[in-house]
């Protein structure tokens, strides 16, 4: 087994004094073993009536237009229980959920967009929109709630729907390759080889840049700039699409490779490391790598930490908590997860999507929660099929599964 000091030297990083920093971790934490959750919930758990008291939103995939995945001002339950379960058509896989306006919005597997009351799961409305994108990036055609509308993009086009009653305000036939991002009065839609911007209110197309090699993943928007990944990382002015800079990513972005903007950096996960670029110039600020052939997922970034998953070509994956305060990130803890990605984080908890362990009575997926300070496993949501990135709001966490479950977990807060 590689020692902690040898591990840190191999990573090219200084040792960290904390007793919890990578204790016993070597390549992808092989000595760690599968996390042992304190509580396991499933869609078939007995619902426990509770006043969820949701006071915050999760309005888009990975929380915001910058894709940080950070649930600001949210305290998830520490003593969780299933509050309610609803069902939507599952053929083709439902989207990850979003929460806004007191509702949960989900695109189902056959093209319907649903609004469910966040307190009890009753359906407010449903409307036919679009099926999921044919290119399955991480965003997967999840909706975005913004300014009184819900926007959804997929293989059948782009739709703006009134959040109150489900009336379609406008649509366009552009086939999207990932979920849309809304910022500054524009809707940014990735497609095959291009990125398009629409007026959010009218649906008028403002610009289209067709200068990408291959399908474009979900973009990130911050400070008047749109960052998008095809094979290159490209920065465009959000107002008119004028290119600001372009950088060839040294190794191909991973299949989940959407950009994330936070803390003065643009992060891209590649098959040769996690790379931070300067937003203004595209210069490489640092690269976290642990040898060739190790992919890193797009990170979730909080004010204190950066969370990513290392995916070796062979062997199990691991979630890493990195401390980037001094420039190059310092690993603080890691945990074996088999494979997966980090989908969300609060100040106190980290949510990672992972496969169910061999000893589980299902062969599906789960979302495992970890303490952000130590990496200790806490509760878990497990499904018999796919379960994706959760929507984390104050007092509740909402999940969707491959069989069409929409589940809200509440309970006592931390």
Among candidate residues 101, 82, 83, 89, the one with its CA nearest the CA of residue 41: 82
Q: How many CB atoms lie within 10 A of CB 144?
A: 26
**Can you give the pTM of this predicted structure?**
0.91
Domain count, the chain: 1
Give the strand pairing for 306-312 and 220-222: unpaired
> What is the Cα–Cα distance from 42 to 382, expressed in whole angstroms?
5
Give tens-digit pLDDT for 96-123. Answer: 999 999 999 999 989 999 999 999 999 9
Q: How many CB atoms lie within 10 A of CB 287?
A: 17
| β-pair partners for 66 | none
Would you say 356 and 364 are in contact if contact means Cβ atoms under 8 Å apart? yes
Would you say 397 and 408 are in contact if contact means Cβ atoms under 8 Å apart? yes
- pLDDT given at position 205: 98
Give the strand pairing for 98-100 and 405-413: unpaired
- CATH number of the domain enclosing 183: 2.130.10.10
Give tens-digit pLDDT for 146-181. Answer: 999 999 999 999 999 999 999 999 999 999 999 999
Which residue stretches of the chain have pLDDT < 50? Answer: 1-27, 30-31
Domain ranges, residue 304: 4-413
Which 3-state string (H, E, C) describes the chain? CCCHHHHHHHCCCCCCCCCCCCCCCCCCCCCCCCCCCCCEECCCCCCCCCCCCCCCCECCCCCCCCCCCECCCCCCEEEEEEEEEEECCCCCCCCCCEEECCEEEEECCCCEEEEEECCCCCEEEEEECCCCCCCCCCCCCCCEEECCEEEEEECCEEEEEECCCCCEEEEECCCCCCCCEEECCEEEEEEECEEEEEECCCCCEEEEECCCCCECCCCEEECCEEEEECCEEEEEECCCCCEEEEEECCCCECCCCCCEEECCEEEEEECCEEEEECCCCCCEEEEECCCCCEEECCCEECCCCEEEEEEECCCCEEEEEEECCCCCCEEEEEEEEECCEEEEECCCEEEEEEECCCCCCCCCEEEEEEECCCCCEEEEEEECCCECCCEEECCEEEEEECCCEEEEEEEEEC
- pLDDT given at position 325: 64
- pLDDT given at position 93: 82
The Cα angle at residue 209 between residues 208 and 213, in degrees rounded to 5:
135
Among candidate residues 228, 318, 231, 221, the one with its CA nearest the CA of residue 262: 221
- pLDDT given at position 2: 26
- pLDDT given at position 137: 73
């Amino acid at each position: 087994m590689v020692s902690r000091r040898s591990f840190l030297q191999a990573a090219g990083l200084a040792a960290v004094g904390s007793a919890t920093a990578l204790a016993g971790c070597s390549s992808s934490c092989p000595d760690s073993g599968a996390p042992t959750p304190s509580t396991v919930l499933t869609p078939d758990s007995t619902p426990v009536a509770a006043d969820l008291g949701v006071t915050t939103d999760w309005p888009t995939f990975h929380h915001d237009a910058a894709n940080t995945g950070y649930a600001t001002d949210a305290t998830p339950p520490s003593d969780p229980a299933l509050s309610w379960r609803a069902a939507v058509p599952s053929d083709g896989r439902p989207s990850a959920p979003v929460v806004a306006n007191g509702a949960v919005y989900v695109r189902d597997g056959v093209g319907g967009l649903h609004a469910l009351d966040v307190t009890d799961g009753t359906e407010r409305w449903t409307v036919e929109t679009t099926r999921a994108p044919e290119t399955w990036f991480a965003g997967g055609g999840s909706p975005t709630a913004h300014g009184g509308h819900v926007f959804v993009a997929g293989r059948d086009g782009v739709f703006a729907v009134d959040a109150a009653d489900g009336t379609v305000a406008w649509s366009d036939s552009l086939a999207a390759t990932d979920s849309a991002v809304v910022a500054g009065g524009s809707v940014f839609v990735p497609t095959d080889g291009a990125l398009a911007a629409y007026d959010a209110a009218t649906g008028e197309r403002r610009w289209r840049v067709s200068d990408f090699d291959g399908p474009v993943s979900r973009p990130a928007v911050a400070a008047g700039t749109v960052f998008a990944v095809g094979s290159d990382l490209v920065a465009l002015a959000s107002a008119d699409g004028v290119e600001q800079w372009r950088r060839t990513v040294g190794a191909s972005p991973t299949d989940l490779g959407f950009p994330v903007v936070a803390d003065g950096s643009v992060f891209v996960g590649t098959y040769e490391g996690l790379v931070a670029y300067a937003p203004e110039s595209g210069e490489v600020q640092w690269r976290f790598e642990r040898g060739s052939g190790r992919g890193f997922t797009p990170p979730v970034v909080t004010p204190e930490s950066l969370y990513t998953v290392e995916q070796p070509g062979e062997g199990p994956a691991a979630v890493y908590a990195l401390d980037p305060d001094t420039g190059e990130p310092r690993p603080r803890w890691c945990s074996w997860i088999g494979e997966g990605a980090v989908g969300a984080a609060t100040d106190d908890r980290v949510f990672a999507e992972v496969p169910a362990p061999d000893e589980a009575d299902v062969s599906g997926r789960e979302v495992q929660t970890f303490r952000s300070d130590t990496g200790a496993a806490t509760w878990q949501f497990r499904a018999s099929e796919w379960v994706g990135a959760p929507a984390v709001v104050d007092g509740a966490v909402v999940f969707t599964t491959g069989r069409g479950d929409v589940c809200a977990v509440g309970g006592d807060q931390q």
